[in-house]
Every structure is written in structure tokens, then in C-alpha cells.
Amino acid sequence: MSTQKTQTTTTEATGTLGIPKNPETTEKPEPRTIVRSLLGWNIAMYILALLTPVSTLITLPSLPAQVPAHYGISGEVDRWGSKYETLTMSGIMIVLLVIWTVLELVLIHRTIHSESEPDARRSIRFFIFGGICIFVLFDVINTYILWMSKTGTTSLNMTSVSFAQIINIVTGLVLIITGNFMPQAKPNTFSGIRLPSAYTSRETWRRCQRMGGIAFIMAGAIIFICGIFVNDETAALTVLLTAIITATIALMVYAPYAARKYGAIGGPIDSEDDESADIPQAPAMK
């Protein structure tokens, strides 16, 4: 009987793979508690997602029958279309909202069975924040489109603030804010720096998210400053793409390095205890 009790205790202390469980995941959160704690975040996301359809429907009656539908590289209108084409962005937003809601429900289902309440709430909040950032960006783009349509602007060069500047300013702010949230992300398959090497160990994951936060903040700062001072469309777009590509390459280089240096620290990521059993496992680093 003593042997059986010892085996039971050992099984409780480890996962089915024989890997010690993360002590933070022993207390499972209540689904209702998680949902209630994230209600404010979800309300904010839904308001931002529905802002584009609502504002478009309100503005639509006052728009001219024909509005600028596309601007060429030179910044001049090269195609006119019906004012009802402005509803396209609204349709995209609604589809994105449905997709994001479904993914959030899947994430909630996974995290409530695998993480402690603070960790589960943090992971889901980070995912919702990603949706908020996307919807804010689309709201800004849609507002700019509606303004151009209402005023009948035939050239992007006629505006004091270019479209690229607006995109850079908003994108820069989103990256800076996201970079501050990123170090809080726990091992998952939805958000954060999810390179295979990042899953080598818990410490490797933590280091990769920290480096990701730094890279995002630096790239965001460069893009934001560019948005303020650079009015040229081509130059602004070049800075935007260069900053994002550079940050991506830096993270792709850093992740294997972190796996080699910190792969034996913090314990392995147990696929049973973390959010998903299909987390990609990196090969052992020598």
C-alpha cells in the first residue's frame, strides 16, 4: 500500500510524460472567473471592431455617388467607384471579429485546463489586445478613406498628412504597446514569439519574449518617428518594412542562440501542462 501511495504521489507531481509539473499550473482557474475578468477587454475590442461599420453607415448617405476607389503610386486617383464600396472595410471587420471571437473561445478552453488563473488571464488578455490593435489600425484606415471620399480628394499629395504617415504613426504605437505586453506571454500557440527554438525550455521562452518586446519597441519607435517627420509615401513605406523585417530577422537569429544558452534552465515546456499539446518542440540543443 505504501508503494502504491508513493506512485500516486509521484504521478500527481509529474505529467504523464514524467516531466515535473509547473507549480504555477496546479490550481486550475474557473471559466466564469476568467470570462468576467476579461469582460472589459472584450467590450473594448467589440466597440473598436464595430466602430468602422457604424461610422460607415452613418457617413454613407452624405457621400457622393462616385468616390475615389484607388490611388496609384503617384498618389493620384486611378479608379472611381460607387460609394457603397466603402462598406468593404466594414465587411472585413465583421469577419475578423467573428474569427477573433472563435479563436478566443478556443484559447479560453485550452488555458482554463492548463494554467493557473493569473497565467490564463494574462495569456487571453494578450490575445485580445492583439485584436484591439488590429481593429484600431483598421478604424484609422477607414476613417481616412471616409474623409477622402467625403471631401472628394483626387490626390494624396493634396493632404498635409499623407496616408503613409498615418499608417506609420498608428503602427509604431501598436508595436510599442505590444512590445510592453509581450514579456508577459506564457508558452502558447497563439501569441508571442512562437519560433520552434523558443519552446526549448521555459527560460528560453521567457528570454525570447523579452527580446521580442525589445525588438518591437525599437521598431515601433523608429516607425513612429518616421510617421511624424517623413511625409514622402515611398520613404515612409520603406522605413516601415525595413524596421519590421530587421526586427524579424533579429528574433530569428536570437531564438536559436537563446535555446543553446538557456535550453537547460527553467525546465522543459510540458505539452500536457501548457496551453496546447501541439506546441512545436525544438530539437535538443547540444
User: Where does residue 234 fall: left (phi above 0), alpha (psi -120 to 50 degrees), or beta otherwise?
Assistant: alpha
Q: Are residues 39 and 153 in the same domain?
A: yes
- Within the chain, residue ranges assigned H as helices are 2-13, 31-37, 39-59, 88-111, 117-151, 163-181, 202-229, 233-262
3-state secondary structure of 114: coil
- The closest alpha carbon to 197, from 276, 119, 109, 261, belongs to 261
Angle (nearest 5°) at CA 161 between 68 and 166: 85
Taking only the tens of pLDDT, the chain with its 286 residues reads 444 444 444 444 444 333 344 444 445 556 666 677 778 888 999 999 999 999 999 998 988 888 887 776 666 777 788 888 889 889 999 999 999 888 888 777 776 665 555 666 677 777 888 888 889 888 988 888 888 888 877 776 666 777 788 889 989 998 998 888 888 877 777 778 888 888 888 899 889 999 999 999 999 999 999 988 887 778 888 999 999 999 999 999 999 999 998 888 877 775 444 444 444 444 444 4
3-state secondary structure of 91: helix
- Provide the number of structural domains found in the chain: 2
Does 22 fall in a domain? Answer: no
Which domain does 76 fall in, by range? Answer: 28-158
Q: Are residues 124 and 180 in the same domain?
A: no
Q: Are residues 164 and 101 in the same domain?
A: no
Does 6 fall in a domain? Answer: no
Q: Are residues 64 and 140 in the same domain?
A: yes
Encoded amino acid at 92, one letter:
I
Q: Are residues 166 and 274 in the same domain?
A: yes
Q: Are residues 254 and 237 in the same domain?
A: yes
